[in-house]
Copies of this chain bind each other. A is one copy, B any other.
Amino acid sequence: MRNTFGTRLTVTLFGESHGPEIGCILDGLKPGLPVDLARITDLLARRRPAGPTATARVEPDPFRIVSGVYQGRTTGTPLCILIPNTQAESGEYRGLADTPRPGHADYTGFVKYQGFADPRGGGHFSGRLTAPLVAAAGIVLPALEARGIRIGTHLARCGGIPDRSFSDLPVDLAALACAPFPVLDPERGSAMREAILAAAEAGDSVGGVLETAVTGLPAGLGEPWFDTVEGLLSHALFSIPAVKGVAFGDGFALADLRGTQADDPFRMDGGRIVTEANHNGGVNGGITNGMPLVFRTAVKPTPTIRTPRRTVSLASRSDTEITVQGRHDPAIAPRAAIVQTAVTALVVCDLLTEAEG
């Protein structure tokens, strides 16, 4: 299955950066869920670049739902969301088709699609296609929240500066979802912004780490083999452009711990079974244990930068150089936070539907 993800709740993504419309189909939704258009608008606004650390391309992201909703509620039939591309200026990208940008999908897309793909603005590979994913999350997030599930993502690291961690303090995940620059510690957030601006001034870009927490999940979601919670989530998360690593709980730090430091002893808490620590990020043997689901992704620095880069000409098969003048973020990680929350919401909703019908 190519551009579709999910088992019971599936999302099918389509469109190109400079085509007339992009969108997605959500199939497997329960009938009767209230659809909150303002919530979708808010989430899309969060995904849009804003301020001095982000690209100048700002689209209003109007969207239309053309099926699957009747009288303000989901019908249970496929829900199609369409978002028009209103501000595409393909001239800026002219010439890229022959000289692939390093770190981008230009070359691999050329090979895979044998030269027939739409090259304008990255075509089907464009980060623009995360907008329908965010809109889709706007359909399922209210349903998750109604049953006590909260999802939030913060910029755990950016430009070499770490944020505080989820375990340091009580966190308002809902507030995090609304923040334009989602950090737990505003001072460190200011330092990150400065690092981003410094890189931008140098014609360069920075990477980061995004950390997500999901609270309120029941124990028992996921499968022991293949469709583990970690496997399903990572499968989806690697679709977020620039994500190159996914790690649960203490992640790669676990490699240097001893067993007595790394496991999570059980104890009773009221009538409920909990773990004393959460080194495993809420997953044991591929299945949720009822503790917060916590994971991090590594986001590489934006590959499109104004500094000249070496590349090749696909037509003449010779070495050359490229300087990209298009609008691009000096850091993709801050904007990707809402996308990570959105992808997580879709996978969590699928897991719950699979487990509970």
Q: Which residues of A contact B (CB under 8 A)?
A: 1-5, 7, 10, 12-16, 19-23, 25, 27-28, 31-32, 64, 66-68, 70, 73-80, 82, 100, 102-105, 107-109, 111-118, 123-125, 129, 157-158, 160, 199, 202, 204-209, 219-220, 222-228, 230-232, 234-239, 241, 243-268, 271, 273, 275-276, 279-281, 283-290, 296, 298-305, 307, 309-312, 314, 317-319, 333, 355-357
Q: Establish whether residues B298 and A251, one from each chain, have CB atoms under 8 Å apart when the complex forms.
A: yes
Partner of A3, one of B77, B271, B279, B356: B77
11 contacts between A and B (CB under 8 A): A70-B118, A75-B123, A124-B224, A157-B256, A199-B258, A205-B258, A209-B252, A225-B239, A244-B248, A247-B247, A253-B298
CB distance from A65 to the nearest CB of B (A): 9
Given contacts A12-B25, A204-B260, A234-B246, 11 further A-B contacts (CB under 8 A): A1-B226, A2-B27, A4-B226, A12-B27, A70-B117, A160-B256, A204-B259, A207-B258, A251-B252, A251-B298, A273-B312
How distant is the Cα of A312 from the Cα of B250 in the complex, in angstroms?
A: 23
How distant is the Cα of A225 from the Cα of B64 in the complex, in angstroms?
A: 22
How distant is the Cα of A292 from the Cα of B281 in the complex, in angstroms?
A: 31
Q: Establish whether residues B102 and A285, one from each chain, have CB atoms under 8 Å apart when the complex forms.
A: no
Q: Establish whether residues B3 and A220, one from each chain, have CB atoms under 8 Å apart when the complex forms.
A: no
With a cutoff of 8 Å between Cβ atoms, the chain B residues found around residue A125 in the complex are 224, 285-286
How distant is the Cα of A129 from the Cα of B4 in the complex, in angstroms?
A: 21
Q: Establish whether residues A264 and B224, one from each chain, have CB atoms under 8 Å apart when the complex forms.
A: no
Q: Establish whether residues B78 and A303, one from each chain, have CB atoms under 8 Å apart when the complex forms.
A: no
CB distance from A321 to the nearest CB of B (A): 9
Q: Establish whether residues A207 and B14, one from each chain, have CB atoms under 8 Å apart when the complex forms.
A: no
Partner of A254, one of B76, B82, B300: B300
- Given contacts A223-B3, A226-B235, A311-B265, whether A244 and B76 have CB atoms under 8 Å apart is no
How distant is the Cα of A27 from the Cα of B227 in the complex, in angstroms?
A: 13
How distant is the Cα of A104 from the Cα of B261 in the complex, in angstroms?
A: 14
- Given contacts A113-B76, A300-B262, A319-B268, whether A13 and B225 have CB atoms under 8 Å apart is yes
How distant is the Cα of A304 from the Cα of B252 in the complex, in angstroms?
A: 19
With a cutoff of 8 Å between Cβ atoms, the chain B residues found around residue A252 in the complex are 209, 245, 247, 251-252, 296, 298
For A116, the closest partner residue in chain B by CB is: B31
Partner of A75, one of B75, B118, B157, B310: B118
Partner of A262, one of B1, B160, B273, B303: B303
With a cutoff of 8 Å between Cβ atoms, the chain B residues found around residue A67 in the complex are 14-16, 19, 21-22, 124
For A328, the closest partner residue in chain B by CB is: B259
How distant is the Cα of A158 from the Cα of B213 in the complex, in angstroms?
A: 28
Q: Establish whether residues A2 and B264, one from each chain, have CB atoms under 8 Å apart when the complex forms.
A: no
CB distance from A252 to the nearest CB of B (A): 4
With a cutoff of 8 Å between Cβ atoms, the chain B residues found around residue A314 in the complex are 273
How distant is the Cα of A158 from the Cα of B258 in the complex, in angstroms?
A: 11
Q: Establish whether residues A260 and B116, one from each chain, have CB atoms under 8 Å apart when the complex forms.
A: no
With a cutoff of 8 Å between Cβ atoms, the chain B residues found around residue A118 in the complex are 70, 75, 77
With a cutoff of 8 Å between Cβ atoms, the chain B residues found around residue A112 in the complex are 76, 219-220, 222, 287
Partner of A284, one of B104, B124, B299: B104
Q: Establish whether residues A27 and B3, one from each chain, have CB atoms under 8 Å apart when the complex forms.
A: yes
With a cutoff of 8 Å between Cβ atoms, the chain B residues found around residue A104 in the complex are 284-285
- Given contacts A245-B247, A247-B245, whether A231 and B238 have CB atoms under 8 Å apart is yes
